[in-house]
Amino acid sequence: MSVLKIVALFATLLHSLIEAEVIYNSSSAAKDDWWKYATYYQIYPRSFKDSDDDGMGDLKGITSKLQHLVNAGVTAAWLSPIFKSPGIDGGYDVSDFRDIDEKFGTMSDFEQLIKTAHELGLKIILDYVPNHTSDQHVWFQLSKNKTAGYEDYYIWKKSYNSTTPPNNWKQITQLNEILLSDKLLLLPFTLNIIRGNTRVLMSEGYTDINNTMKYYGNDTVDGAHFPFNFFIITQTSLNSTAKEIISAIKLWFQHMPSKCVANWVLGNHDRDRVATRLGLENVDGYNMLTAFLPGALVTYYGEEIGMENGEVTWEEGQDPGACNGLESDFNSESRDFERTPFHWDSSVNAGFSTGNKTWLPVSSKYKTNNLELQSKDGVKSHFHVYQDLMKLRKEDTLIYGNLNVEVLATYVLAFTRELDGNDTYVFIFNKGNYSTSVSLSSFKSLSGNVTVVLSSTNSSRNKGDTLSTASIIMDAHEAIIAKSRSNVSVCWNIYTILLIMVLLFRIS
Ligand SMILES: *[C@@H]1O[C@H](CO)[C@@H](O)[C@H](O)[C@H]1NC(C)=O
Ligand SMILES: *[C@@H]1O[C@H](CO)[C@@H](O)[C@H](O)[C@H]1NC(C)=O
Ligand SMILES: *[C@@H]1O[C@H](CO)[C@@H](O)[C@H](O)[C@H]1NC(C)=O
Ligand SMILES: *[C@@H]1O[C@H](CO)[C@@H](O)[C@H](O)[C@H]1NC(C)=O
Ligand SMILES: *[C@@H]1O[C@H](CO)[C@@H](O)[C@H](O)[C@H]1NC(C)=O
Ligand SMILES: *[C@@H]1O[C@H](CO)[C@@H](O)[C@H](O)[C@H]1NC(C)=O
Ligand SMILES: *[C@@H]1O[C@H](CO)[C@@H](O)[C@H](O)[C@H]1NC(C)=O
Ligand SMILES: *[C@@H]1O[C@H](CO)[C@@H](O)[C@H](O)[C@H]1NC(C)=O
Ligand SMILES: *[C@@H]1O[C@H](CO)[C@@H](O)[C@H](O)[C@H]1NC(C)=O
Ligand SMILES: *[C@@H]1O[C@H](CO)[C@@H](O)[C@H](O)[C@H]1NC(C)=O
Ligand SMILES: *[C@@H]1O[C@H](CO)[C@@H](O)[C@H](O)[C@H]1NC(C)=O
Ligand SMILES: *[C@@H]1O[C@H](CO)[C@@H](O)[C@H](O)[C@H]1NC(C)=O
């Protein structure tokens, strides 16, 4: 045996000494309450489904389409604000948290939505925005005229002169008191909603990791069930390497207080669509990535079919932030592009509305990308991948299992989820533009062959195909989830390897 061969063998053996990094240990409490492993589907009510031809989505529209959430396999719908609002800030300027805005319907439409959702086994979550009340909200009025008890609901500052408004009227200091006070928090709704189930509270804020973690609370101060994890959004982009993506994931686990539940958000109403931001061909890979991680998952409407940003002109713009700015900044500032109506089917207005005009234009891309086309039996589609992912998330391994991560190549990463006595699952994602050969040897729980359970839309692999863990050629943008039937630990420890080397030297 030549020296070269021995060096090569040595390199291979050395590589098998490298172990994938465990970044999350299994949690036996992962399934003791529904919210911990749920998938939350964010609905932007204006753009989901219009029931009355006025071109804007509404509650009856949502109710009529709840079956889609069941078909997709999600647990809960989170509705962006539907409360009474003068609409100066796109409905985020709430004037009464206890009433429904007429744009969306009535309280009885809302009660019907809840009833239908519960019949379908879905949960409903509302978007409560205490930091952004309307100046027409009674709290603001009471605070403004210094009614006792309300003085510090807002931070009041003297304006520079009598003609300019105070500069930070939006801040509310009594956040905790308001959140914990049922008399203020949606009293008419609560009785319908609780029914012995845990009500989940998530918090949203764009801040650094240390501040974000404070929203989990601690032994002395109550917090949210989880603060939204926007770090995959803010710390990764189209060109991110496998290492950068893994760092963004590790960031959360490294800072999360013990016994807390992680969560993963890929897109929302404030950020470009995933297909536009991270690449259309990577949509399945990213959906698989976030669904594969331990904890809760949040999906923005349309991401299950890989919608791209819509086309909206300055004249058609609706986002107050951008419309109050300069036309030249519209394309970079407006959030209208990720808020265009959902693509239900190939009919007029993508099946969103039968009105003559929609509040934001329906993207022309609906003709080639819509739910109806993606739902056809036998076609490989983003939606079918998403449905399979939701089924997979119900497996014990994906609920309780460890998470191990490894960079396999500059643009290829792999994770495993492992649980004693259960199948090990491995996720491999080549987000790069070139096909790349990789090995899974650093995952000690995988050995020999693994069986494909799910592959991205463009992958040539199919369910049931076997892959050798020693060498897999991953096509550009290909993503695969495979499983290893046995979870017997392979004793490739240092002694085994030394023994083999001794034998090899003897042979040569
Ligand atoms: C996982 O558990 C092992 C063994 O208890 C421990 O050594 C390791 O630090 C843990 N890792 C994490 C990321 O919690
Ligand atoms: C509330 O809103 C104000 C103004 O937009 C902002 O400066 C502040 O950071 C927000 N506070 C929280 C807790 O989000
Ligand atoms: C303060 O405003 C509230 C709400 O508009 C109103 O009901 C109340 O009468 C006002 N009080 C005073 C002293 O002006
Ligand atoms: C009030 O202050 C603003 C901002 O400093 C300034 O633009 C405006 O001219 C002032 N108005 C008067 C009447 O002084
Ligand atoms: C978070 O806090 C840690 C420890 O106090 C500190 O080392 C780190 O720099 C902080 N991170 C950020 C992003 O502020
Ligand atoms: C708990 O959280 C509060 C609010 O963030 C903080 O002031 C306090 O120091 C924390 N307590 C402990 C023991 O970490
Ligand atoms: C990605 O890299 C390409 C060059 O390979 C560059 O043209 C492009 O601007 C980069 N995109 C982002 C979002 O960084
Ligand atoms: C992959 O190709 C796309 C489209 O040509 C390009 O935008 C992107 O920057 C490329 N990625 C890398 C990592 O170069
Ligand atoms: C599949 O690959 C083709 C050719 O590279 C590309 O045009 C298309 O966008 C890809 N589709 C998906 C869903 O990735
Ligand atoms: C749409 O426009 C047609 C022709 O102008 C009109 O007859 C019809 O009433 C309009 N439909 C709606 C829902 O506004
Ligand atoms: C799989 O894991 C679950 C949860 O730990 C356990 O209850 C079950 O027995 C395991 N399955 C097998 C076949 O061991
Ligand atoms: C592993 O899969 C390859 C094909 O990818 C096949 O040739 C080989 O027999 C399989 N080995 C085992 C042990 O199943």
Task: Output the domain CATH number for residue 299.
Answer: 3.20.20.80
Cβ of 381 less than 6 Å from ligand 9: no
From 330, 359, 389, the end of a domain falls on 389
Place of tokens 């190549």: 409
Cβ of 395 less than 6 Å from ligand 11: no
Measure 117 CA to ligand 8 centroid, in angstroms.
42
User: Considering the domain boundaries, does residue 90 fall inside one?
Assistant: yes
Cβ of 421 less than 6 Å from ligand 11: yes
Span 326-364, pLDDT tens digits: 999 999 999 999 999 999 999 999 999 999 999 999 999
Residues 374 and 404 in one domain: no
Q: Closest Cα partner for 23 from 249, 306, 245?
A: 249
Counting the structural domains of the chain, the total is: 2
What does the H/E/C string look like for 117-160?
HHHCCCEEEECCCHHHECCCCHHHHHHHCCCCCCHHHCCCCCCC
Residues 324 and 461 in one domain: no
Q: Closest Cα partner for 416 from 407, 430, 427?
A: 427
What Rg, from alpha-carbon coordinates, does the chain have? 25
Cβ of 148 less than 6 Å from ligand 3: no
User: Considering the domain boundaries, does residue 71 fall inside one?
Assistant: yes
From 389, 413, 438, the end of a domain falls on 389
User: Considering the domain boundaries, does residue 258 fall inside one?
Assistant: yes
What's the domain range around 246? 33-130+186-389
Residues 411 and 384 in one domain: no
H or E stretch at 179: helix 175-180
Cβ of 210 less than 6 Å from ligand 6: no
Which runs of E-coded beta strand occur in 410-506?
412-418, 424-430, 436-438, 449-455, 466-468, 472-474, 479-484
CATH number of the domain within which 472 lies:
2.60.40.1180
Measure 329 CA to ligand 8 centroid, in angstroms.
25
Residues 371 and 432 in one domain: no
From 342, 363, 389, the end of a domain falls on 389
Instruction: Kindly report the protein residue whose alpha carbon is nearest to atom 14 of ligand 7.
Output: 239
CA–CA dist 83, 101 (Å, integer): 5
pLDDT digit of tens for each residue in the chain (508 aa)?
455 555 444 544 455 567 889 999 988 899 999 999 999 999 999 999 999 999 999 999 999 999 999 999 999 999 999 999 998 888 888 899 889 999 999 999 999 999 999 999 999 999 887 766 888 989 889 988 999 988 877 777 666 666 655 544 444 433 433 443 333 344 334 433 445 678 888 888 888 999 999 999 889 888 889 999 999 999 999 999 999 999 999 999 999 999 999 999 999 999 999 999 999 999 999 999 999 999 999 999 999 999 999 999 999 999 988 998 999 999 999 999 999 999 999 999 999 999 999 999 999 999 999 999 999 999 999 999 999 999 999 999 999 999 999 999 999 999 999 999 999 999 999 999 999 999 999 998 898 899 999 999 999 999 999 999 999 999 999 999 999 975 544 444 454 555 556 555 565 5
Residues 356 and 462 in one domain: no
Cβ of 237 less than 6 Å from ligand 8: no
Residues 106 and 205 in one domain: yes
User: Considering the domain boundaries, does residue 99 fall inside one?
Assistant: yes
Residues 6+ apart with CB under 8 A from 160: none
Residues 360 and 455 in one domain: no
Provide the phi-psi class of 258: left if phi over 0, else alpha when psi is between -120 and 50, else beta. Answer: beta
Residues 212 and 81 in one domain: yes
